[in-house]
Every structure is written in structure tokens, then in C-alpha cells.
Amino acid sequence: MEQAPEAEVTLETTVDSHFVPRPFRVQRTKRETHDVFTLELKAEEGPPLSFRPGQFNMAYVHGTGEVPISISGNPAEPETLIHTVRAVGGVTMAMKHAHRGDLLGIRGPYGSAWPIDEAVGSDLIIVAGGIGLAPLRPVIYEALKRRQQFGKLVLLYGTREPDDIIFPKDLEEWRSRFDFHVFVTVDRALGSWKGHVGVVTSLLQKASFDPANALAMVCGPEVMMRFTALELLKLGVDPGQIFFSMERNMKCGIGLCGHCQYGPYFVCREGPVFPYTRLKQLLSIREI
Amino acid sequence: METLQPILAQHPFFKDLQPEYLELITGCASNVRFDADAYMFHEGEEAHHFYLLRAGTVALEVPTPDRGPMTVQTLGEGELIGWSWLVPPYTWHFDARVMELTRAIALDATCLRKKCEADHSLGYELLKRLTVMMEQRLQATRLQLLDVYGTST
Amino acid sequence: MIRIDSHTLGALIGLLRKDGFRVLGPTVRDHAVVYDEIRSFEDLPIGWTDEQNNASYKLIPTEGKSLFAFAVGPHSWKQFLFPSECSLVRSHRSNGSMELRGAQEPLPTPLAFFGVRPCELHAIAIQDRVFLEGPFADPWYKSVREKLFIVAAQCTHPGGTCFCTSMNTGPRATQGFDLALTELSGGSYLVEAGSQRGSEMLTRIPWRAAETAELEEAERLLSTAAASMGRTLETEGLQQSLYANLSHPRWDVVGRRCLSCANCTLVCPTCFCSTVSDGSDLTNTDAHRTRTWDSCFTADFSYIHGGSVRPSTKSRYRQWMTHKLATWVDQFGTFGCVGCGRCITWCPVGIDITEEARLIREQAPQAKPTS
């Protein structure tokens, strides 16, 4: 019995499937530190990318690969998509050498957002470590826009050395406000540094806020986030009011490749922002 | 006559300390101030005092030949500088540079050591508090040592 | 319930092919029963049976003409719905523009799976949840799945490593198929329809109603099968037990045996992890991204800058097993394991997931969860 000839039907997936990136053009590049840079992008066609603070995109470099990068811009100004990136591998190195006019592929936004609405009526404590300030900058912009909805607004930012400080202009501007308490520290410095030296958790003593009515958003290396949570708990902040942004290997960003699993959670789907109550047990288990 | 006792009582380091011990300690206390850019002490010098900071900021520095002084920690209001006065040979391990006008209570090391030898419960109270502070410093130092913000290749 | 003979079964295959389906089913190749295209009745594994145990698979010829007297082999049906390699994106760069397009993967002619065991029906349903019911669906999977015609085979010959009864996935299937066969002795097959399409197919083949004796034989075969499982797995409290024992010393033991060869994830009918690779032509004008199967056992599966989160084999084995038997429940509402036993048979060092689970529970240093 003859088999009918194979039907020549092809399936072409579209951008709507979230398998295919959209082209975005580099408008501006800015060096932040020796290995951190910021890219400002605009969609080549179609609507700007609207996002909520804490979300990330999968950024594609033609022929090289795709990596998850948090969005670091202002959610109220989505026409310019901003990503602050650390050059650590092939794709991010390629992005570091991008020029104005180059094109990147963007898929997103994905993931959970910082719970800014939950912080309304409370003191909002933002603790950032190193490049962790980048995923927090959008929520800072939004909190400043809605400033009157919160009690105290505090930013504690720690990084390695003074040269590693990112967004110095933003920090200066925020510091000059009377309704925003900004503290910056470094792990070590040359004598010319006039600021604080010590771990970021030591800044918690300086920032006077009401722990019983505070919500903390923490982002940075996992070690730093763990110790920050411990200090916050010691001060009396409720564990359900502490939020981390977690990071894991991602290949798809949409919950299908399985790489970003952290216990039962897909960091790209239930995260990257998690309440501490969900993480507490997982954080204490090695190699999970 | 006004003594420094009420001021000492207010400092976080002596929180909840029994008045009789406070009185003993006050006997060794004096009020001091340092101008900006002055050095409170240098590495290697004998530790005659330790200091409870009331206001201002002090940087603990390690001098290096190639990169100049490196700051490992800054301390401010409510904090304590120095436990070298308790550990023979009682010499400082860091430089302490004043970053802005600083007011502090200086506690005479010889005076306190004598009183602690005479009254061990006083010594125990002091050590209990110092241990907590040292644990915090050690913890923080280890975190700084981990260099968590550094890139690993 | 109706009854047909093997000749009619062959005709059924022919009808499916005539309707434009590509029929995939069991066939013997390389000393194993694998899944491949079935062009005619003769391609089926006639008269074969098997013996399976830890790290052991043996195909044995018999004198009879049975079609399904063996348990599942190293292949699963996932390779047809979730191909081991497929193209995702094409990017064309020229004159300051970048054209990004979805891959043009040719859709196969509609597929018909012939001889799907009940455990495998569950495996397909489990993968449906992963690829179709999340916030983002796989369009290719959806397209192929929608047209899929399933002829199930009730399982009358479970294997030495089977434990479908423990997982509630067999040996009988009651839904998820278009047609279901039960092989009786003497070349008779009972057939039931499970869908409109299945019922329509039955109108095109000769059949008679099943006799009581035949129905009774089917019942006997299925209850005997249910009582002949090679393994058991206690699922009551299993998830909690694993969550409470993530530091159990047993993980060290199995971690030393495991080679992290990824065989288990390859043969497992529900494993869905994938990775992507990017490449381009020599001038970097046309780039492409391809998706391939991946395994949580690979060293860089969990790599983030600086190193892997799970550098040790032990932690990767724990990840796989706790995903299958614990976290999958939180993620998708069911266990990820269907009790097919493939991972036990095809593990080169014979690690047995049921044994590991049992030992962790029996030798539990702590019976209660810590939080």
C-alpha cells in the first residue's frame, strides 16, 4: 500500500510564541565600571516593551547566544529599554562591544516583580549589593514617583571598592533628596575615599526605620542577601516582608527548559523576585 | 560635680550595665575630641586607651607601600574602637584616622585592667560585651574577605 | 467492547496510513523494541518477549505470534512530540538590519501512535501539562499533538522493572486514547473506542461483539499483570518524605554510584529539559538557534557565572529524583514518574529509583519535615 506523499506543511513560530526575539536598536552605551556597562535600546518596530520593576528580558546577540538580563530602566518610560550588564561570558562580552546602531534581539519581559504595592503604608528598605542595584533601580524610580505612599524610603548600597559604584549620578541625585535616605559603603577603599567602609549589613544600624512596619527588597550576591536577611530578622522585620531577587541558569526564560529550577520553583516564572518565606529552607541546603 | 557616668550609661556598649560597674568604669573615663584628619593612634603604638565614639567617623587603615593607606572599616557614633588594650602586648594593629570631627569617651587601659583584675565580675561584664562586638566584627570582616562582589573567572 | 483478529489489525494500520497518518509503533532493531515507522503489520515485533532488570534488557524470541508480550523499551513517545533537536530562530543580518524569524520546522504528516501503553498515555498527559498548559506553550508540540491519533495497548506483560500500579498509571488505561487494544491468546484483540475519531475508525473495519469468555480473559490478564509488577513504590507521603530528607546520607551513596551519564533522562518519557545552541554561517550573516534535549545531570546544567550550582553528581542525582517524585507535584499537580521502569533498566550501574526512595524513607534520620 503506497504511503501518501509527505505533506509540505511548515510551522513558523512568531514573536507571539515567545520563542522568537524582537529586534531592538542600541541608542547609547555607557561604561559604568571596568566590567559593567549600560545599554539604552529602542524597539525597531512595534510597541515599546512595558515591564514591571524586577522583571528581566532574554537578550540575544546574533549568532552568539542569549542571556537573561534584568531591566534597569524607568518603568514609566518604557520607550527606552535600559539594561545594565556585567561582562562575564561570551554573550555579555559581545554586548559590551555593542555600538550605537547595533541590533540586539529581546524576548520578554519575564518573571515576577518587586512587590511595591505591598509596601504602601510601610517603610521601604532597599538593600543592593554590587550590580544588584541594577534590578532595583526601576523600583526606586517607581517608589520616588509615588513617594507619598510610603513611610521612610531607604537605600543601602554596598559594593567592592569605590570604582565599582554604578549609577553615581542617580545616587547623588537621590542622596540630595530629604525624603530618601541613601547610604553607600564599600568592602575596602584607598585612603582617598571619604565614605563608609564595611559590609552593607552594617548600614542597617544607621538607617533608622520601623522594623515592625517595613518591607525590604534585597538584591545582590546570594551570600550578601542571606546575611542581610539575617540582620533584618534580628532587627524585627517580618520574614514575609523580605524579598530577594534570585538568579539561576536560564535557557528559555519561559518555564520550559527546566534549567532555572530552584526547589519546586522556576526562577523565570515564580521568580526572580521571591518572598524570604519561600526561600528560607532552600537557602540552607547546599547545591540545590 | 558632673561625672561622665550618665554619658557612659547612654552609650550602646554599656546598655543595661549595672550602676555599680558603671561607676567603677567611669573612674577610668575621660572626654576627648579629635579634629578631622588627625590620627587617634598608629599601628604598633601602645594601646593606652580604647574609645567609645559619641559622634563623628573614624577610618581603620592599613598603610601599604604601593597603594597608600587602605581603609578596612569605618566606625561612627555608638561604636567602639579597640580591644588591643586587652590582648598582650597591648599594641594597636591599625591606624585610626579621623574623617570628621569626632567626640569620644576615652577609657584608660591600665586603669581598667587593674580594676578588672581586682573585680572579676566587672571583668566578665566587660568581656561579655566585647565578645559580642568582636563576633560582629569578625563576621563582617569575613564577609568582606569573601569579596562577594568580585568577578570569579 | 468488540473483538477483531490480527489480520484486521493490519488493515487498521493500512487505513491510518491511507488517511495520511504516519504510523509509529514498536519494532525490533538493535536487539531492542524501539519506536519507528510502521508500514505494515510485518514491521511489528511479532512473537517477541523481554526480560528486564537493573541495568539489564534482553529481547527473547518466542514461538507465538503475540504483538505486545513485552514491556516498554528504551524509546518513549516524547521523541515525536518533543524532538531531540529542532530549530527555534533564524536571524538574518544585513545592511544595519536584523531579521528575526521563527524557525520553519516542517510539521510531520499527522502522526498515529500504535501500541501506547497506559503508563505512556500518562507520560504524554504529563508532558501535555508541561508544554501546553503553562503560561507559555510550545506551538510545535501543540500542532502535532492536536492531530495525534493514539491506538493504546492495555498492558498484559509488565516487565521486571515496572511499577505502574504504584503510580496509578496502569496496567489498564481508561482514557487518553482514540482506540485501545487488549491482546488475547490466539491472535484475538478486544478493541474499545475512547473518542469520536476512534469510533469512526471502527466503522471501517470488520468486527464482532466480544464474547463473555473473551471479556473474562481480558480481565484475568489485566489483574495478573497488575499483580506481576517487578517493583513497587510507596507514594503515600513520598513527597514530604523527600523534602524532609534532602541531607540524607543515602544521597552520598547513590551519588558515588551514579555516573551522571544522563541515560535515565534520555529514556524517561516525561523528562523535558532542553538547552539551546547558537551558531551562524562563516560570515555571521545568517544565524540560527537550535533547541536540543538536555539533562540535569550535565555538569553545566546549573552554571551561573563563577560555577555550577550543582557541581557534585550527588546533588544532580538528588535534583533529578526529587524533581520526579516531589517538586513535580508542586509544579504540575502529579508525580513526574509513571512507573515505566526505563531508568532502572537502562542505568548502566543499575540504580533503582524505587530502591532509593524506599531506603531514604526506611533509614530516615528524621521522619518529619523541619519547617
DSSP annotation string for C246-291:
TT-THHHHHHHH-----HHHHH-SS---EEEEEEE-TTSSEEEEEE
Q: Given phi > 0 = left and psi -120 to 50 = alpha, else beta, which region is B17?
A: beta
C 25-44 residues inside an 8 A Cβ radius of A: 39-40
Q: Cα separation of A189 and A194, whole Å? A: 9
Q: Does the pLDDT of residue A89 top 70, yes or no?
A: yes
Q: Does C130 touch chain A (CB under 8 A)?
A: yes
Q: Does the pLDDT of residue C366 top 80, yes or no?
A: no
Write the pLDDT tens digit of every residue in B90-141.
999 999 999 999 999 999 999 999 999 999 999 999 999 999 999 999 999 9
pLDDT at A2: 46
Q: Given phi > 0 = left and psi -120 to 50 = alpha, else beta, which region is C278?
A: beta
Cβ separation of B69 and A195 shorter than 8 Å?
A: no
B59 neighbourhood in chain A, CB within 8 Å: 191, 197
Kindly list the domain boundaries of chain A, sorted by start residue.
15-110, 117-245
Are the CB atoms for C127 and C163 separated by under 8 Å? no
Are the CB atoms for C165 and C229 separated by under 8 Å? yes
What percentage of chain A carries pLDDT values higher than 70?
Answer: 97
Q: Does C304 touch chain B (CB under 8 A)?
A: no
Q: How many domains does chain B have?
A: 1
Query: What's the CATH number for A117-245?
Result: 3.40.50.80
Touching B (3+ Cβ pairs <8 A), the chains are A, C
In a domain, B87, yes or no: yes
Write the pLDDT tens digit of every residue in A63-78.
999 999 999 999 999 9
Touching A (3+ Cβ pairs <8 A), the chains are B, C
In a domain, B151, yes or no: no
User: Taking the CB of residue B142, how many other CB atoms lie within 10 A of it?
Assistant: 11
State the residue range of the domain holding B116.
Answer: 5-145
Are the CB atoms for C320 and A258 separated by under 8 Å? no
Which residues of B lie inside 8 Å of C (Cβ-Cβ)? 151-152
In a domain, B54, yes or no: yes
Q: Cα separation of B53 and B102, whole Å? A: 7
Distance, in angstroms, between A87 CA and closest chain B CA? 9
Whole-angstrom CA distances from C22 to C12, C37, C40 are 13, 7, 11
pLDDT at B66: 80
Say which CATH superfamily domain A15-110 falls into.
Translation factors (2.40.30.10)
- The distance from CA C211 to its chain's CA centroid, rounded to whole angstroms, is 33
Cβ contacts of B128 within 8 Å, gap of 6 or more: none
What percentage of chain C carries pLDDT values higher than 70?
Answer: 98
Q: Give the pTM.
A: 0.92
pLDDT at B2: 66
Write the pLDDT tens digit of every residue in A249-274.
999 999 999 999 999 999 999 999 99
C307 neighbourhood in chain B, CB within 8 Å: 152
Host H or E run for residue A275 = strand A273-275
Domain CATH for B75: 2.60.120.10
C304 neighbourhood in chain B, CB within 8 Å: none
In a domain, B150, yes or no: no
| ipTM reported for the complex, 2 dp | 0.94
- Give the dihedral sign, CA C290/C293/C299/C303: positive
Which chain B residue has the Cα nearest residue C306?
A: B152
User: Taking the CB of residue A99, how many other CB atoms lie within 10 A of it?
Assistant: 8
What is the arithmetic mean of pLDDT over C191-206? Answer: 97
Q: Does the pLDDT of residue C246 top 50, yes or no?
A: yes
In a domain, B12, yes or no: yes
- The distance from CA B49 to its chain's CA centroid, rounded to whole angstroms, is 9
pLDDT at A191: 79
Q: Does the pLDDT of residue C370 top 60, yes or no?
A: no
User: Taking the CB of residue B38, how many other CB atoms lie within 10 A of it?
Assistant: 13
A201 neighbourhood in chain B, CB within 8 Å: 140, 143
